[in-house]
Structure 1
């Protein structure tokens, strides 16, 4: 096989739509571009548009949604031999495309999530040819489809459910509305003879005796030319196992089986190692001179290599006294899923690199996550993403790409959805990290609760996708992995049966918190598995300073139009204020409000995670919305669009730690819950003290305890420890080995917190500074917002609560010439104390 990469030599022109006058001439004559790319990245590279992520630039680029584009380049190809195929391969077209060679249509595309291959052998000429790809406005196409088949309800006003394009390309409550267009995956020409490897689908299992089994399904495409019906040989090898199979003349598939005795198991992070093995499959022509030769000595026609891991995965949805379970088992071991939802890490997808994805996945592992859910409003991620998850032991829950909308079941949408599902299920089978296929996000729930039924008036809405089409694709192509119909989803869902978002059955989304009620309500339910919950907070200060500015170039305040453009949630700032009011109050000064918003986000999520983990194994997973951002925005993310961890990231790291101690309500009183997510017993003596905030001890006890591996222990507490005399001035301090938990009986707004609870000092180090703080009174959530001094600075810890007399050290890494004394005062050194009390004492924390 010979490959020609068509990366360079393209010209992009705007062919229709209202282009701004100052760009019209340039876009009519065309830009020299390379692919992959999209309209936005090409114009950015040429300096013709401002960065859509900055300030109010997103609004200025709304004209691009209704422009049609054309890519064009010269193509010089040798005439094919009599037995040679010539294929034009497009890895991804965004989205409504028409491909022409010398003015003749050879392909039409309507699905961003598919790759395309077209035989152009008979169109190759001995002269320079013109390859042209026309990209029509996806919005105009979607509107026309809505008119043709009838509108369907969706979470947002634009008809993203009418076209197979990344749903969040049309905007979301955390993302910009840009609606890219272009060739977003590579384009190439492939020349081949006889046959090619059209697909390799390894199904990996482990027998009870420890034998690893790889059933390799090989799909072959025949050339249809002289010699194309010849017999073929498939050779597969992995981990010392080797097997050869034959493909009969004219046949287009084969299955070979590899067995690896005592296969080393691949485990999720925290549960064991991640051994990976290169699986290689070769396709050769059978030697007609030696037809009995088992390996075949004819020409090599194709090679395929991926790394696999040996493991089993099951989903327990059995019925029990509490409802219906939803528990993942890997290699037979049930595990608590410590997860986060994943969105595209850059809205402009073609800019994503393996290195950037690796940084984000390292942050996931650093926060003690063991699973990422690839959410259904984005894309099927690149091979880089899944390979890096394989290496790190990060489990992947993969949504099919349907989100928050009713989807027509009419053609051509139905065939497109099935075709893309078949392509990606087959593509992703090698990856041990992938453990669950999910039929979409909030589609079944939306149909039940969001008023869709009246709007639909009997029209199709996607029920068949969730319950029939996608389930059948998984059953056929990847029976080694479980399938869930939706998230949320209750097994047994149907007419007059269990509601799809019932917390007692299957998966549950908790969005009453954030939208309507206080985060303390998380404790009002014990879901079997919470696959979405979260709370908003603003991005880091350095990100605001770079991208969210007012007319003078300073950080835009919370009511400024630019700030509000980067706050996509309905009444987002109002919900932030109402969320922090009962806990921290609502500060007047923007710098304080920013810190309070970040702190309240972190606290809300930690509150939920510790609650969910305390109920293992009844609750079997918590997937936070969300790990990452795709641009600079106030959102639910733990890592902002400039890749900086927000305080939430540190809260997740603490709440998802392998070992956690927490005080939780049980049977009407407080109890000590000890979470041990390790393979060894946790045996120790917990030291408990009811203290005044100044550190004087009012009651104390030592509690010997043992908690089994992968278990949670519940321990009663003496009345003297949990019955404060003066709740505003007392706290319960629990210490067990290196874990500490401070419990108070009233919110911070009612606590008599010292406004300046710390003494602090700073010492230079080789790569920055070490800051030591000592608490003279209870200091809550001590944090260094180091990005205020240096956008590239990092700190090793945050949100550290110190009882009186306790100390902590923070390692700050920076190469910037900063004044070290700035690390010891606001707005860099912060606590919850200083954001709750300034209004009472009349103090002001500077911007």
Structure 2
């Protein structure tokens, strides 16, 4: 009598729509799948992720495809009365017409919508299911032509045909990913037989301001016959805290009030436990549904202050600095991502002290496995709706599809405690600004918005917030990213901003992050190459494995990528252009950018009532294919040095040192000013909810000799204020003697100049908990020769790195199998850097650092 599911994963075949030859049908290894994977499995195309093969598979995007499978009628419930049989499609990519035994049963034009079709009267003892997929590229072009009289389709990033199609927009290519237009049954397809079933179970609740109670309503939706009651319960660690037998309403809706006194709450990473309760709906012996839910009180604090209007999250009464990453799909072929890979990604974030992920609007509504992992590890989810970088239409059929899509996705994700905010889109208001589309913030009539040249305002400011309010009433909604109360999207005083004046735009130096902050920086980034193993996997010809080769340029989709990358490298380092050396230089540029940005903007977290910056999310965490990009972890989950730079700055208690910025190349800039300015700031950034007394040691170390040029400054009994920035030293001046400084009337003496590193160590209870170093800028002016690097094996899986003179940007060559506890770090004399190593022997490690004589050097003991 219980619900029975038969998954249709095996026995499929497929063919090109316009190929009706006898041998056109090819086997499909397994569904879910997408056509590129099936063609690759049948050796009909080369691997799109290698070399120039993306170009060799472009023909696929303009073809239609047919998938079919034969199946027998399930017999398990055949003798039950009132048995219903449904055919369930969790996701079809994208324009799909479905036939069962030759009769059309479904048409779908939205990749993000699931479908359930009752086939009880159509089922035979032997059945054939056939799905016809049209080319999304061609259908998109047709829709643009059809609706061009009523809407102007503006688009950034590749071609306009993506705009009217409800499909993952990155399939059309982006400035970090290939053009790979997928098609096929990208999510599971299955038969379901039941007498009665639970369609959904969820809750709407609010934690009281005093955090001592949680109350609201439990809901269930029931389909089918022969059930009058359903049991709803909440339990924690096997103990039931609420239970009620409820009557089922005429429409199958069930609801009941509930209260949980003194609830155990769900907290973000670093602020408390990630407690989850078990929500259970039991429909007699017919069906049972379990969900893990969490209780937390969530606020987006937007209050007028001395900096404009704040923008930060308050969870369970605690102000939370959101330090994390933006997320793109983890593969160009979404059907190929297993659940454990999603969990590995989020575990990786948590290990790096990242507590928020922003799921970008040009991808997909993310998989349950990813959001489950966010619940587990305490990573807050900012989820964009699936719109990005375009002016989207609002004709009736399109809006109807969007509404169904949005309702389904909000319902699917509403019980996850990690999902704290929905945003209407990614950068569509920047498109409005760029093309000067009509937008009057004072006009509050949604119907008038539909008649403007920017009709998508109706979607973002009326339709989507309405849906969120109806389906998940306590969820935060934000019209766009970036967005700030109708002001310009680059306004740093309100809302969130995408800060692209590093890399794009004005191409500010990364040392200028102090001029580039906002109330919440939800995008910024710097490109870097992946580690050598990844480059050598994606480009198989050794003759092409060098910067500037045709294949290397093809892999990097960023506009003007090489001129931007080389500018940042050349401004800061002496250039070496062989692959190992240039890879390392780009990685250290990226890591230094992360260090400066996260450190500067986390410092601006400030204190209660003065939260100048509420969060920093790097663009981007990951890649969808092997490439060089803004990702801080590559496609194979191999961490770049930038990942570790973020992890160090985002420690629960971190120390920061900064020197004043002095321009060194613009016009008549004086590049010796940094040597004359001997002042620095030192501060502590804490996310801990209790104050902590620490000891701080500040050293001043000659880069040339490795000797301390002054006695260390000892700061005893310094209190790191809870959840705040504690300014310890402000414009503290180093008192130097000798030739370090140029006199007022004599030229700067390079021979006697002895540049130094300022190095701070924070300890508590005799244990080092944080360090930071500040170097004279730019680093290319410094002599990094003869660093005296040595190694010692502390154990079979632990290596100790030491140096006679300060080392910048020490990097072990990392690969898919190699895991390190830290990388991309600085080494100072007198300290031993201990690194845990798994996946390889210590004697197999290779390394480099700024100024190393070769690009990749084997470790010797």
TM-score when scaled to structure 2?
0.87
Unaligned runs of 5+ in 1: 285-299
CA distance, structure 2, for counterparts of residue 138 and residue 411 of structure 1? 20
Q: Report the equivalent of 2:374.
A: 389
Q: Report the equivalent of 2:429.
A: 444
The answer to whether structure 1 residue 69 and structure 2 residue 65 are counterparts is yes
Which deviates more, 137-146 or 678-687? Answer: 678-687
CA distance, structure 1, for counterparts of residue 316 and residue 424 of structure 2? 24
1:779 to 807, 814, 831: 807
CA positional deviation for 1:331: 0.6
2:32 to 33, 36, 53: 36
CA positional deviation for 1:82: 6.7
Task: Describe the superposition over 1:225-263 as per-residue Cα deviations: whole angstroms up to 9, x where unpaired.
Answer: xx57x7444433433133335445633322123322221
Q: Report the equivalent of 1:681.
A: 691
Query: 1:412 is paired with a residue of what secondary structure?
Result: helix
CA shift in 2, pair 1:282/1:642, >3 Å: same
Query: 1:153 is paired with a residue of what secondary structure?
Result: coil
The answer to whether structure 1 residue 201 and structure 2 residue 202 are counterparts is yes
2:831 to 784, 802, 806: 806
Q: Where do residues 735-746 of structure 1 align in structure 2 (5 Å cutoff)? A: 735-737=761-763, 738=768, 739-746=770-777
Query: 1:218 is paired with a residue of what secondary structure?
Result: strand
CA positional deviation for 1:609: 0.5
CA shift in 2, pair 1:58/1:678, >3 Å: same
2:138 to 137, 140, 152: 140
CA distance, structure 1, for counterparts of residue 829 and residue 518 of structure 2? 37
CA positional deviation for 1:805: 3.5
CA distance, structure 2, for counterparts of residue 325 and residue 111 of structure 1? 37
Which deviates more, 133-142 or 379-388? Answer: 379-388
Q: Report the equivalent of 2:244.
A: 244
The answer to whether structure 1 residue 563 and structure 2 residue 516 are counterparts is no
CA positional deviation for 1:555: 5.7
Q: Where do residues 363-402 of structure 1 align in structure 2 (5 Å cutoff)? A: 363-402=348-387
CA positional deviation for 1:26: 8.0
CA distance, structure 2, for counterparts of residue 722 and residue 629 of structure 1? 47
2:317 to 332, 347, 354: 332
Q: Report the equivalent of 1:108.
A: 107
Query: 2:689 is paired with a residue of what secondary structure?
Result: coil
CA positional deviation for 1:341: 0.8
8 Å Cα contact 2:695-2:714 kept in structure 1 = yes
CA distance, structure 1, for counterparts of residue 50 and residue 451 of structure 2? 42
CA distance, structure 2, for counterparts of residue 728 and residue 420 of structure 1? 63
1:760 to 782, 790, 795: 790
2:539 to 504, 523, 548: 548
8 Å Cα contact 1:728-1:746 kept in structure 2 = no
Task: Describe the superposition over 1:40-77 as per-residue Cα deviations: whole angstroms up to 9, x where unpaired.
Answer: 12122233322211111111110110111111122432
CA positional deviation for 1:797: 1.6
8 Å Cα contact 2:85-2:119 kept in structure 1 = yes
CA distance, structure 2, for counterparts of residue 467 and residue 482 of structure 1? 13
CA positional deviation for 1:563: 1.2
8 Å Cα contact 1:727-1:745 kept in structure 2 = no
CA positional deviation for 1:171: 1.0
Which deviates more, 539-548 or 733-742? Answer: 733-742
Q: Report the equivalent of 1:289.
A: none
CA positional deviation for 1:666: 8.4
Q: Report the equivalent of 1:15.
A: 17
CA distance, structure 2, for counterparts of residue 718 and residue 563 of structure 1? 45
CA distance, structure 2, for counterparts of residue 431 and residue 520 of structure 1? 39
CA positional deviation for 1:709: 1.2
CA positional deviation for 1:528: 0.8
CA shift in 2, pair 1:243/1:742, >3 Å: closer
1:833 to 839, 844, 851: 851
Root-mean-square deviation (Å): 2.6
CA shift in 2, pair 1:261/1:731, >3 Å: same
8 Å Cα contact 1:722-1:732 kept in structure 2 = no
8 Å Cα contact 1:220-1:252 kept in structure 2 = yes
CA distance, structure 2, for counterparts of residue 777 and residue 803 of structure 1? 6
Task: Describe the superposition over 1:21-55 as per-residue Cα deviations: whole angstroms up to 9, x where unpaired.
Answer: xxx96862333443111101212223332221111
CA distance, structure 2, for counterparts of residue 844 and residue 273 of structure 1? 44
Q: Where do residues 448-847 of structure 1 align in structure 2 (5 Å cutoff)? A: 448-449=433-434, 458-490=452-484, 492-493=485-486, 498-515=487-504, 516-550=507-541, 553=542, 556-616=545-605, 617-664=611-658, 670-693=680-703, 694=705, 695-698=707-710, 700-704=712-716, 705-717=718-730, 719-721=732-734, 725=741, 729-737=755-763, 738=768, 739-751=770-782, 753-763=783-793, 765-766=795-796, 768=797, 770-787=798-815, 792-815=817-840, 820=843, 823=845, 828-834=846-852
CA positional deviation for 1:450: 5.3
Which deviates more, 580-589 or 319-328? Answer: 580-589
CA distance, structure 1, for counterparts of residue 807 and residue 432 of structure 2? 47
CA shift in 2, pair 1:462/1:665, >3 Å: farther
8 Å Cα contact 1:690-1:731 kept in structure 2 = yes
CA positional deviation for 1:362: 1.4
8 Å Cα contact 1:557-1:590 kept in structure 2 = yes
CA shift in 2, pair 1:5/1:746, >3 Å: closer
CA shift in 2, pair 1:593/1:27, >3 Å: farther
CA distance, structure 1, for counterparts of residue 353 and residue 311 of structure 2? 21
CA shift in 2, pair 1:274/1:31, >3 Å: same
CA shift in 2, pair 1:519/1:206, >3 Å: same
8 Å Cα contact 1:234-1:245 kept in structure 2 = yes
8 Å Cα contact 2:694-2:720 kept in structure 1 = no
8 Å Cα contact 2:230-2:281 kept in structure 1 = no
CA distance, structure 2, for counterparts of residue 624 and residue 154 of structure 1? 24
TM-score when scaled to structure 1?
0.88
Query: 1:94 is paired with a residue of what secondary structure?
Result: coil
The answer to whether structure 1 residue 55 and structure 2 residue 48 are counterparts is no
Task: Describe the superposition over 1:305-325 as per-residue Cα deviations: whole angstroms up to 9, x where unpaired.
Answer: 111112111111122221111
1:175 to 174, 177, 200: 177
Query: 2:156 is paired with a residue of what secondary structure?
Result: coil
Query: 1:697 is paired with a residue of what secondary structure?
Result: coil
Instruction: Give aligned pairs, total.
Output: 791
Query: 1:341 is paired with a residue of what secondary structure?
Result: strand
Query: 2:503 is paired with a residue of what secondary structure?
Result: helix
Q: Report the equivalent of 2:389.
A: 404
CA distance, structure 1, for counterparts of residue 590 and residue 821 of structure 2? 19
CA positional deviation for 1:671: 1.7
8 Å Cα contact 1:315-1:326 kept in structure 2 = yes
8 Å Cα contact 2:382-2:421 kept in structure 1 = yes
CA distance, structure 2, for counterparts of residue 140 and residue 411 of structure 1? 21
8 Å Cα contact 2:547-2:577 kept in structure 1 = no
CA shift in 2, pair 1:216/1:520, >3 Å: same
CA distance, structure 1, for counterparts of residue 178 and residue 644 of structure 2? 26
CA positional deviation for 1:214: 5.1
CA shift in 2, pair 1:618/1:249, >3 Å: closer
8 Å Cα contact 1:691-1:699 kept in structure 2 = no
CA distance, structure 2, for counterparts of residue 115 and residue 664 of structure 1? 52
The answer to whether structure 1 residue 184 and structure 2 residue 186 are counterparts is yes
Q: Report the equivalent of 1:290.
A: none
Query: 2:376 is paired with a residue of what secondary structure?
Result: helix
CA shift in 2, pair 1:521/1:233, >3 Å: same
Which deviates more, 135-144 or 509-518? Answer: 509-518
Query: 2:262 is paired with a residue of what secondary structure?
Result: coil
8 Å Cα contact 2:389-2:428 kept in structure 1 = yes
8 Å Cα contact 1:201-1:427 kept in structure 2 = no
